[in-house]
Amino acid sequence: MRFDVLTLFPGIFSAVMGESIIGRARESGIIQVNAINIRDFSKDKHKKTDDYPYGGGNGMVMTSQPIYDAYRHVIGDLPYRPRVIYLSPQGACFNQSRAEELKREEHLILLCGHYEGIDERIIEEIVDEEISIGDYVLTGGELAAMVMIDCISRLVPGVLSNEASCVEESHCNGLLEYPQYTRPYEFNGKTVPDVLMSGHHANIENWRRKQSIERTRTKRPDLYRKFMDSNS
């Protein structure tokens, strides 16, 4: 799967997306993350990428031209048109089921805004959908783009070494994941629950399911209500 990120700050991506699971998936070629510097496409003699808002007001607005040319550069002569997502606090909220849908795309273009926003006409011209990662405002779309890339990539076959871990984790079935334990058996006087030491697989599965349900009820009553509604 390929992600092309249109950004004014490509350096942010090289650090975070070069490490750990995503770094390895990039090295092995399962996923591609390209950060494209919008400024490289500015036709302004000072390489400006923003300007004052028409009608007045605070802050600067990102201009259409460099974004459009960066986008045209990415699509080049591709035989298909990749889906373009604009990261914005005005978008629909990203969640696990959106990630499941988006992992089916071969190629995504993620547009990161900054300042007070970007010229509305570029949104109309190239953007298919706006996505927010939560009801709060970040200084730019870069962190949001990385959240999406991380969350979608780990669902792409081959990115996680143990694919089963993707099936049993929090949010996959509408419930939070059960508690996990590893060695030592005793830590600061606390021991591992007996059932996990029993080797009885059916009992362990049963215990984990009950823990999942109980955790969801106490930690995320909103999810618990949804879960109960869809299972009644």
Instruction: Out of 25, 84, 133, 159, name the contact with ligand ADE by CB under 6 A.
Output: 133
- Separation of alpha carbons 74 and 68, rounded Å: 10
- Separation of alpha carbons 25 and 18, rounded Å: 9
Question: Does the protein bind ligand ADE through residue 10 (CB under 6 A)?
Answer: no
138 is in an annotated binding site: yes
User: CB 137 → ligand ADE: shortest distance, Å?
Assistant: 5
111 is in an annotated binding site: no
Q: What is the DSSP letter of 110?
A: E
* Distance from chain centroid for Cα 52: 31
Question: Does the protein bind ligand ADE through residue 134 (CB under 6 A)?
Answer: yes
Instruction: Out of 7, 37, 63, 132, name the contact with ligand ADE by CB under 6 A.
Output: 132
- Separation of alpha carbons 34 and 21, rounded Å: 17
133 is in an annotated binding site: yes
Instruction: Give CA separation, 63 vs 12, 38, 155, 203, in Å.
Output: 21, 10, 35, 60
Q: Which residue, 150 or 214, is less far from ligand ADE as judged by CB?
A: 150
Q: Tell me the one-letter amino acid at 139.
A: T
**Cis peptide before 184, with omega less than 30 degrees from 0?**
yes
Instruction: Out of 144, 146, 149, 159, name the contact with ligand ADE by CB under 6 A.
Output: 144
Instruction: Out of 55, 76, 79, 137, name the contact with ligand ADE by CB under 6 A.
Output: 137
Structure tokens at 108: 């995504």
Number of residues that bind ligand ADE (CB under 6 A): 11
Which residues, numbered 185-224, are part of the site for ligand ADE (CB under 6 A)? none
User: CB 136 → ligand ADE: shortest distance, Å?
Assistant: 6
What H or E segment, with its residue span, contains residue 180?
none
Q: Which residue, 18 or 134, is less far from ligand ADE as judged by CB?
A: 134
Residues contacting residue 191 through CB under 8 Å, at least 6 positions apart? 185
Mask of contacts with ligand ADE, 90-129, x by CB under 6 A?
A: ----------------------------------------
User: CB 209 → ligand ADE: shortest distance, Å?
Assistant: 34
Closest to 148 in 3D by CA, of 133, 166, 137: 133
Q: Which residue, 115 or 217, is less far from ligand ADE as judged by CB?
A: 115
Instruction: Give CA separation, 18 vs 33, 48, 62, 203, in Å.
Output: 9, 29, 28, 41
- Binding residues for S-adenosyl-L-methionine, by number, are 113, 133-138
- Interface residues with ligand ADE (CB under 6 A) are 87-89, 132-134, 136-138, 141, 144
